């Protein structure tokens, strides 16, 4: 399955737009009074390399949003899988899972400084 929209998957976002988007997200969280407070997540290069080493024919990585508990937004999790021909690869031919462990979330582990986290 190929990307079916007009967006260029290789284009980057202008820094000014990224700063505005992350500031808007933090403002939304602050005003929402919701216990959900996820500001960012971090995935190590080693986890990405591991995904690609286990699936060298991968054409991308897809990240799903999930919850451990369907009624608790603070149980938020990301599920990361490699893709081939746009389809998820959740099982490799040898039966091994190709779903990565969860990334590191902010909070509680937040970056310090930087224009995207001011």
Residue ranges of the alpha helices (H) in the chain? Answer: 15-32, 45-54
Domain boundaries defined on the chain: 15-106
- Split at pLDDT 50, 70, 90, the class of 112 is confident
- Burial (CB < 10 A; 0-12, 13-18, 19+), residue 100, is buried
Between CA 105 and CA 115, with CA 36 as vertex, the angle to 5 degrees is 55
User: What's the token pair of residue 62?
Assistant: 């897809």
- The predicted-structure confidence for 9-25, as pLDDT tens digits, reads as follows 667 888 999 999 999 98
pTM over 0.75: no
Q: Is the pLDDT of residue 98 over 70?
A: no
User: What's the token pair of residue 10?
Assistant: 């290789």
């Amino acid at each position: 399955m190929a990307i079916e929209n007009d967006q260029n998957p290789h284009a980057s976002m202008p820094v000014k737009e990224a700063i505005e988007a992350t500031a808007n997200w933090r403002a939304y969280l602050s005003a929402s009074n919701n216990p959900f407070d996820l500001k960012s997540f971090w995935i190590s290069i080693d986890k990405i390399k591991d995904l690609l080493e286990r699936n060298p024919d991968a054409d991308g990585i897809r990240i799903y949003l999930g919850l451990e508990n369907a009624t608790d937004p603070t149980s938020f999790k990301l599920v990361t899988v490699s893709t081939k021909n746009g389809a998820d690869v959740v099982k490799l031919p040898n039966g091994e899972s190709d779903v990565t462990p969860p990334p590191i979330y902010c909070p509680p582990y937040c970056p310090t400084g930087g224009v995207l986290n001011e």
